[in-house]
Every structure is written in C-alpha cells, then in structure tokens.
C-alpha cells in the first residue's frame, strides 16, 4: 500500500467541517456517482495542470489569475472534487464550498500527508533579515545534539541529510511544504526547521503546521508591495507566534517557546503575542546594554568569522562562529536560544554553531588571489544592506581600506525601499554601483534612478563614487575594477539565486561564478590546493 492509501473524500469533508471553513457540499450536476464519500483521494492540487485522476483541486484566487477559472480543466483531468469559494455551475464533480480557499488548502494538505508536524519537532524562523543563516545554524545545533533535522529555506530543502536545491519560493505552497515534512519524517528526521516568510504566513502556506519554537530575527522595511502597511507586515509575522498555542490533543515533548530578538524595535509586540498564546519567551541580544536571556558579553571579529562570549541562564562560554560579519553574532545567539529552549547540551550547541562555515549566497567569500576582498550576499532590504556593510566595515578599516557596494532593487516590488537602500549604501560605502536585480518588466533605468536619489542624498556623486550600470555582469566588472588593494567589495541582492528576472523572462544567473569570471579577466586565479595524489588543482 502507498503512504496515502486510505485517504477518503468523506474524511476530507469532515476535516474541513471540523476546522469551521466548510460552508456546504454541492454534488456534481451530471453524474450522481461523483463525490462518493468513499472515493479515494490521490492528491491535493492548486495547479490545474498537475491534477491527476483522483485528485482534489483547490481554486485559489490570485493576483494575476483566479483558480476558479481553471476548475473545469481540473475536473477534465480527473479531479474527484473541487474546493471553491463560490459555486461553479455545470462542472460534474463535487464542489466543497469554503469560506476561503487558502486556509482550506493548508487543512487539506496537512490531512492528506497525515499531519507530519504532529510527529516532528518544528522550529519556525521569521523576520526581515537573517532567516536562512539562522535556520542553518539551528539545524547544525540539533544535529550536533543527535537530533537529525530537515530544512526548508530560501537556498534549498534538506531531507534526511540530502540537499534538494532551491524550490522557487522561500516558503512553498502548503501541499509542497507538507509533503516535505512527511518526507523528513520518513527519512528519519526528528526536527524540521521551516523558514517562514511574511508571504508564507499571510498566505497560509505554513498554516496547519504545529510549531514548537518560533524565532524572530528582526523587523525592518520589506514587502509592502504585498502587505500594504508596516502594521500588516508585522501582523503577518506575528501569526507564527500566535500559532504557538498548545494543541487540543496530546502535546509533544518540547514546550512551546518564542525566541525573540530583544533589541528589535517591535520585540514587545511579539512577546505579547507569544505570551497570549500561552508560550514561554526567551530573548536574545548582542548589545550588552540590552537585557536578554541569551547575550554576548564580548565579540571578537576576524576575516573568517568571530568569537562571542555567550551568556545564558545555564552556562557561559566562548562560541566560535565561522561566518564573517558582526551581524552573524545575532544569528548565532538566536540558534543558541533555540538550543536553550529545547534543553540541549551546551557542548552540542557550541559544536553545532562552529560546524557551519558558510551558507550559499550568505557572506560567501570569493577568493581568486586578488588583493581586495569580495563577498556575495543576499542582502536585499535597507536593514540587511546596512547590517552587511556595518559588519564588513571594521574588517575594511583594519586593512586600511574602504567598502564598495553593488546592488539593485526588484521590479514590480516595493518601491519605497529603493531610496532607503541607496542612502544606506551611500552612507557606508566609498563607492556605490547600482545595477539590475530582477527588473522584470519595470523600467530598468528608472529603478536605478530611484535608488540613486538616496545615495546622492548621502553625498555620493555620479561618475565619481556613484555609478548606474543596468547590466549586472558589466556592473560587477566595473565594481571590481575600482577596488583598491585593501578594499572590500560587497555584491548584494542575488546571493544564491539561479536566475535574473527580466522583461524577456528568467535568465540563468550565478553571482559567484560571474564574480570569479570577472576576477579571471583581471588576471587573478583561485589559489591552488593539492588533490589526494599531490597534484595542484584550483581551490
């Protein structure tokens, strides 16, 4: 028997009814046989093109298309039922009419996969910046403690220790993420760390997941194109902490805990939400002036990382963080706080954090023997860009150099952040280079002009220390050509992403490879290492 055998349509109807989202069931108008409660369900789908015989199609109203318009096509492909927000006359399969399709999709997906989150420890990580790195640090801490952990993050999915690559969304749609959790359970994982974006929370992609620990990294300006206001953005993030209410049935062995950056402007708002849900709260902060449960008494920075003297209610000890940039102290402290929430051994916490030497596209150093330093990072918000540059600034000063920043801002997205990013870079960089970052079908030059206003307000001058070059590869070459021997060049915004979204469609992109190619054109080559036979080979 397959793992989904035994799933019956009548049980799905009961689950939707029990959750209070079902308004009624309409039988097929042409065939009295359709909609039999004993009919086996073979899948939950939100894309009509992927429906197979026996599947249930959920019609989601979207920004650019309405799933109800594709319901007939789903029925034609063999769907045995449709979950809809309104009756669709003339379609000969049962229609389960619900209050809202997205919550129903999450309920159906969790039901179909057998509620895997009820049998896994679940850590959800949300915030504007630092989510992916924090997820990887938490996973490493759990693994060091002997608790295999899967990952759902921006840079990819890890199941049973195997990496599966980028899925296209930081937080996938509910049927995908529930299937991933089910696969983790089958692969022997004890925990799942789920990067929970504001989109994923607002659109119910992670609804019906039984979270045990919720982490807040920070709140700054982002995604107002979706949420409209900062308050709505925070409200979406806050859902993760509101969901920490204990389940009605038997709980899991881990107490519901909120791990919150105590230095964040909005920390109290999230602390209240967690406590209202009945969860305990653990705060963390890197600033010694901020009272927190988990803190850093001292921080020493190096090229390859930093050492923090961590202080928790249970222990005090130095922790090695093999990630450059002072902002990674906060990510490490968040992971330490998760370890405290789960009662893990201090040695396992420290070992796990020290085991993470890098995350794709997150402060990834590009080394080709050049006298200046080059980093690729995903920083794509004003706060993240400022934090990245602030983290690199002491390293540049120690070398006697300055910062060169290269970045852009996506098309068809939040435009208010564009001058904010320009100002953040202009205030911190010796040179600012503005370039494409997924312009889509927006005016490329206009995007750069909007960013440039902020950089110019910070004193940058065009043609002198401010350059607008839409072609990203050409911009990278120019930024590197301007670097002095002790400078640090930050290539921000794309990080791990494998495509560049243009008006003509997605174009293959690899930021690190483009940077290496540009350095090679300048006459630099990666340092050599030795293979098992002692032969020299590029590193």
Report which DSSP code applies to 41. Answer: P
How far from chain centre, in Å, is Cα 518?
29
Is residue 163 in a domain?
yes
| Domain coverage including residue 371 | 364-521
CATH number of 193's domain: 3.40.1190.10
Q: Residue 538: its pLDDT value, please? A: 40
Q: Do 122 and 99 share a structural domain?
A: no
Q: Which two tokens stand for residue 175?
A: 């049927």
Question: What number of H helices and E strands is found in the chain?
Answer: 16, 26
Q: Judge if 402 and 338 occupy the same domain.
A: no
Is residue 126 a part of any domain in this protein?
yes
Q: Is 349 a domain residue? A: yes
3-state secondary structure 180-217: HHHHHHHCCCCEEEEECCHHHHHCCCCCCCCCCEEEEC
Do 97 and 14 share a structural domain? yes
Among 77, 96, 112, the domain boundary falls at 112
Same domain, 439 and 501: yes
In terms of domains, do 232 and 303 share one? yes
* 125 shares its domain with 101: no
CATH number (domain holding residue 34) = 3.40.1390.10
| CATH code of the domain covering residue 503 | 3.90.190.20
Q: Which pLDDT does position 249 carry in this prediction?
A: 53
- Low-confidence residues in the chain, pLDDT < 70: 1-2, 28-35, 165-170, 221-228, 248-250, 361, 527-539
Please, what sign has the CA dihedral across residues 497, 502, 506, 511? negative
Let me know if residue 533 belongs to a domain.
no
Q: Are 239 and 201 in contact (CB under 8 A)?
A: yes
Q: Does 344 lie in the same domain as 204?
A: yes
Residue 533 has a pLDDT of 45
Rounded Cα–Cα distance for residues 227 and 262 (Å): 24
Cα 477 to Cα 11, 192, 364, 389, 483, distances in angstroms: 59, 40, 18, 20, 10
Instruction: Report if residue 536 sits inside a domain.
Output: no
Q: Are strands 403-407 and 488-492 parallel, antiparallel or unpaired?
A: parallel
In a domain, 146, yes or no: yes
Same domain assignment for residues 341 and 388: no
Residue that terminates a domain, selected from 85, 112, 139? 112
> Each residue of 452-462: pLDDT tens digit?
999 999 999 99
For residue 299, tell me if it sits in a domain: yes
**Torsion from C-alpha of 462, 466, 470, 475, nearest 10 degrees:** 130
In a shared domain, residues 238 and 91: no
**Residue 196 pLDDT:** 92
pLDDT in tens, 475-487: 999 999 999 999 9
Q: Do 247 and 151 have their domain in common?
A: yes
Do 171 and 264 have their domain in common? yes
In a domain, 306, yes or no: yes
**Counted domains in the chain:** 3
Q: Are residues 397 and 480 in the same domain?
A: yes
């Amino acid at each position: 028997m397959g793992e989904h055998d035994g799933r019956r349509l009548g049980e799905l109807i009961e689950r939707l009814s029990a959750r209070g989202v079902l308004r009624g069931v309409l039988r097929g108008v042409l065939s009295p046989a359709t909609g039999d409660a004993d009919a086996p369900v073979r899948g939950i789908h939100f894309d009509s093109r992927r429906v197979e015989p026996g599947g249930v199609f959920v019609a989601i109203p979207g920004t650019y298309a309405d799933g109800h318009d594709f319901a007939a096509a789903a029925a034609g492909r063999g769907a045995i039922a449709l979950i809809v927000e309104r009756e669709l006359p003339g379609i000969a399969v049962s229609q389960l009419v619900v209050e809202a399709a997205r919550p129903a999709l999450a309920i159906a997906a969790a039901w179909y996969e057998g509620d895997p989150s009820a049998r896994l420890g679940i850590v959800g990580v949300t915030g504007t910046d630092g989510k992916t790195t924090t997820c990887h640090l938490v996973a490493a801490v759990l693994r060091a403690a002997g608790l295999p952990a899967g990952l759902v993050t921006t840079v990819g999915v890890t199941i049973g220790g195997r990496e599966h690559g980028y899925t296209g969304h930081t937080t996938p749609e509910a049927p995908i993420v529930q299937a991933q959790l089910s696969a983790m359970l089958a692969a022997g994982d004890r925990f799942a760390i789920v990067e929970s974006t504001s989109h994923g929370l607002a659109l119910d992609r992670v609804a019906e997941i039984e979270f045990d620990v919720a982490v807040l990294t920070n709140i700054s300006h982002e995604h107002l194109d979706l949420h409209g206001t900062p308050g709505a953005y925070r409200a979406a993030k806050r859902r993760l902490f509101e969901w920490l209410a204990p389940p009605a049935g038997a709980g899991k062995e881990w107490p519901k805990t909120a791990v919150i950056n105590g230095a964040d402007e909005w920390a109290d708002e999230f602390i209240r939400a967690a406590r209202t849900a009945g969860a305990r709260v653990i705060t963390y902060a890197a600033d010694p002036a901020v009272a927190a449960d988990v803190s850093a008494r001292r921080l020493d920075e190096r090229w390859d990382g930093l050492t923090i003297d961590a202080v928790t209610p249970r222990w005090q000890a130095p922790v090695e963080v093999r990630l450059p940039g002072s902002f990674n102290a906060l990510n490490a402290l968040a992971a330490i706080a998760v370890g405290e929430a789960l009662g893990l051994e201090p040695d396992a916490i420290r070992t796990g954090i020290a085991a993470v030497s890098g995350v794709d596209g997150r402060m990834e150093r590009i080394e080709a023997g050049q006298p200046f330093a080059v980093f690729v990072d995903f920083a794509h918000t004003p706060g993240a860009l400022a934090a990245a540059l602030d983290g690199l600034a002491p390293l540049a000063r120690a070398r006697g150099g300055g910062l060169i920043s290269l970045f852009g801002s996506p098309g068809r997205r939040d435009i208010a952040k564009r001058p904010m990013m320009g100002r953040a870079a202009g205030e911190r960089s010796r040179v600012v280079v503005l370039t494409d970052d997924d312009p889509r079908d927006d005016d490329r030059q206009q995007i750069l002009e909007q960013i440039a206003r902020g950089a110019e307000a910070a004193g940058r001058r065009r043609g002198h220390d401010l350059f607008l070059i839409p072609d990203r590869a050409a911009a990278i070459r120019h930024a590197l050509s301007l670097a002095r021997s002790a400078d640090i060049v930050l290539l921000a915004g794309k990080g791990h992403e494998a495509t560049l979204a243009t008006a003509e469609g997605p174009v293959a992109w690899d930021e690190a490879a483009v940077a290496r190619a540009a350095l090679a054109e300048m006459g630099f080559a990666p340092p050599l290492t030795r293979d098992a036979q002692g032969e020299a080979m590029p590193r």
